[in-house]
Structure 1
Amino acid sequence: MIMTRRCAALCLLALATAGPAMAHHGWRWTTGRNIRLSGLIASANLGNPHGVLRVDAEGDQWMVEVGQPWRNQRAGLTDSDFATGREIVIEGEPSANLEDRLLKAERIWFDGKLHDLYPERG
Structure 2
Amino acid sequence: MALTAFFRAACLAGALVIGGAGAAVAHHGWAWTEDGYFELEGVIVAISFANPHPTLDVEIDGEVWRVDLATPAATQRAGFTEDKAEVGDEVYAIGNRSRDSTERWMKAVRIIVNGETFDVYPSRVPAN
* TM value normalised by structure 1: 0.81
Is 1:72 equivalent to 2:71 in the alignment?
no
Q: Which residue of 1 aligns with 2:88?
A: 85
The one-character-per-residue Cα deviations of 1:6-61 (angstroms, maximum 9, x if unpaired) are 46666555444433333322112111221010011011121211112110123221
Seq. identity, %: 36
Equivalent residues of 2:44, 2:58 under 8 A apart: yes
The one-character-per-residue Cα deviations of 1:74-101 (angstroms, maximum 9, x if unpaired) are 1111112220000110001111122211
Greater helix share, 1 or 2? 1
Q: Which residue of 2 aligns with 1:44?
A: 47
My pick for the range that moved more, 107-116 or 45-54, is 107-116
Alpha carbons of 1:22 and 1:69: their partners in 2 closer, same or farther (altered >3 Å)?
closer
My pick for the range that moved more, 52-61 or 37-46, is 52-61
Is 1:110 equivalent to 2:110 in the alignment?
no
RMSD over equivalenced CA pairs, Å: 2.3
Equivalenced residues, count: 122
For residues 68 and 62 of structure 2, the distance between their equivalents in structure 1, rounded to whole angstroms, comes to 19
Q: 1:33 aligns with which of 31, 36, 46?
A: 36
Q: Which residue of 2 aligns with 1:100?
A: 103
Structure 1: 5+ residue runs without aligned partners? none
Structure 2: 5+ residue runs without aligned partners? none
For residues 63 and 18 of structure 1, the distance between their equivalents in structure 2, rounded to whole angstroms, comes to 20
